Structure 1
Amino acid sequence: DEFYHGLKDALKGLLKGKELTPFFTPRASITTIHAGAIPNMVPEAATADVDVRFPPGVKKEQIIDLANQVKEGVVNRNRAIDTSFTMAIEVKSSIDAIRVDHDNAACTSLATCIEAAGRGSGACEKPSFVKKTGTTFMNHIGSFFGCPVVTYGPGDPSLEHTPGERIAKAEFLQAIDVLEAFISRMAGH
């Protein structure tokens, strides 16, 4: 609890003085907690997974350094009470955020394929680009290969990873058509 709140406060200070939007605001979320098995007994140890999402321009090393600074503060405060107090941070995964120029060949080709599929189904809508936080294969592929990247999928992106996430069969089948057309277009066929 002390580490988590300290990290959240430190993340707020990371971009102090800059305009913060949902996409450009670093965030920390506790995703798992494991501790004791008896409700009225203080556990000997506890572990928690904390997912940190951070915007382009903030490097993963900055986040790791910040987390270690917060950890040292927590350890020092708690050792004043209990000299055996320890705490460790294990980075399970880290990758820098990526921001894509919508004018790259991958984005424009995909948008063309989405529009064409929409016209064919009678649901012609101009596709829009969504800024996403979190790790996707875009982060890995874009940084490793240094190439333009884009991601696409059917459904409402605001419902991803929620109990309301679902797509209709027609959306799924249309997405297959879009991706086939996109691959063909990018391959020059």
Structure 2
Amino acid sequence: MNNLNQEDALQFLTGVLSVPSVNGTDGERAMAEYLCTYLNSHGIAATLQPIDDRHANVIGRIPGKSDQTVIWNGHLDTVPWGKLDEWDTDPSLPIRLGNRIYARGASDMKSGLAAMAYVCAKMAENHVVPDDTILFLGTCDEEKGGLGAESFLSIAREEHPSFLLIGEPTGCRLGIAQKGCLWLSLSVNGKTSHGANPEEGGNALEGGFEVLRELKCYINSFYHEILGASTMQVTMAEGGIAPNMTPDHARFLADIRIVPALTRDMALHHLRRLCAEYTQKLGGKVTFDIELQNERMGIEIPKEDRRLSQFEEILRSQGLPVEYSGISYFTDASILLRQFTGCPVLLYGPGDPQLCHKPNESVDVRNYLKSLETYRSFYHRD
């Protein structure tokens, strides 16, 4: 494949950033339609996967030399603008200032999405046959419930990918691990009593705080060399009747970010044990109900994986440092792996993870162009 046209690639990125796809506000389907039209116009048999009036995925496929399939994934949606007075530019209109392009989604993750789509289009346009079949997957609703990834799995029963590459923002570092996520709801039932006689009651608020404090100590004990420690914080607490009454009910929400060594079952087992011990200590005056509202598994690619080695070789051949990174937020990979069990995942994209979801979000043009060459080299050798 001939060298990529940098100005053409930047113009395409500007076009992608100009299509509004704010989750919950705009129709993300328009972004899917834009990419589908672009891929089709360059010789890729791309299709829409309609979900509803506002949501759709875009799926394209480039047949390869082998019988293996790899998925190139990026999400179509962005978070809202936030406070407009905190932006120096209009977040809905991409603008280049020096070596950076500013717009909502510039880092998270339309630059990675555009780079993947552009390289796929140029492969097809130049009749390049990649080493493995590439399935380009643009998913909607990643920033909220993962509706796009869930919907893709419903039609992908016959897919058996050998590798999953996600263009999430890593600053052109190799994202070899990501934390999983658990959102816990803990309902606590106690026994009311007069505030002057707390021993006669069962304080639901105190019970919840004590159990969650112990759970946090357990969660924080798990550590990963790239990701750091697992974390937990109580993000909501409600309960109480009056200043002079023991609260007989409370509800807590907790956000837990887990490293790959800590699983959902391990966390829930420990929480159930803590709850049972507290209930026994108070003679049954306080009981607990646990609900898991969201679950995303932790992910790590093996250091010896051949695709990781290929990426390392590509970066070295470009005279670039080989740097590793991990992310604390979740991606569509944690949904896709529910079906594609054991599939290695690598995150690599031009966006800056420190700028995601913030005012004045931008992407370094040099990183965007660098990612194009890296994606191109990954499945094609000139």
Same fold (TM over 0.5): yes
Alpha-carbon distance in 1 for matches of 2:295, 2:302 = 23
2:236 to 33, 44, 50: 33
> Equivalent residue for 1:73?
277
CA RMSD of aligned residues (A): 4.3
TM-score, L = length of structure 2:
0.35
Structure 1: unaligned runs, 5 residues or longer: none
Alpha-carbon contact 2:355-2:362 (below 8 Å) kept: no
Alpha-carbon distance in 2 for matches of 1:169, 1:40 = 55
TM-score, L = length of structure 1:
0.61
Partner deviation per Cα, 1:4-30 (whole Å, 9 max, x = no partner): 211123335x66xxx875736333222
Report the residue type matching 2:211 in the other structure.
F
Q: 1:139 to 1:108 in 2, by over 3 A?
A: farther
Alpha-carbon distance in 1 for matches of 2:370, 2:362 = 11
- Alpha-carbon shift at residue 150 of structure 1 (Å): 0.3
Q: 1:178 to 1:49 in 2, by over 3 A?
A: farther
Choose between structure 1 and 2: higher helix proportion.
1
Report the residue type matching 2:275 in the other structure.
K
Q: 1:75 to 1:111 in 2, by over 3 A?
A: same
Q: 1:76 to 1:175 in 2, by over 3 A?
A: farther
Choose between structure 1 and 2: higher strand proportion.
2
> Equivalent residue for 1:98?
299
- Alpha-carbon shift at residue 130 of structure 1 (Å): 1.1
Alpha-carbon contact 1:107-1:149 (below 8 Å) kept: no
Q: 1:87 to 1:139 in 2, by over 3 A?
A: same
Partner deviation per Cα, 1:92-126 (whole Å, 9 max, x = no partner): 2335433212443433444566678xx6xxxx642
Q: Aligned pair 1:168/2:343, yes or no?
A: no
Alpha-carbon distance in 1 for matches of 2:243, 2:374 = 54
Report the residue type matching 2:298 in the other structure.
A
SS in 2 for 1:92: strand
Q: Which has the higher contact order (CA 8 A, sep 6+)?
A: 2
Higher gyration radius (CA): 2
Alpha-carbon distance in 1 for matches of 2:283, 2:371 = 57
Alpha-carbon contact 1:23-1:131 (below 8 Å) kept: yes
SS in 2 for 1:130: strand
SS in 2 for 1:150: strand
SS in 2 for 1:168: strand
Alpha-carbon contact 2:352-2:363 (below 8 Å) kept: no
SS in 2 for 1:69: helix
Q: 1:179 to 1:86 in 2, by over 3 A?
A: farther
Query: How much identity, in percent, do the aligned residues show?
Result: 16
> Equivalent residue for 2:308?
107
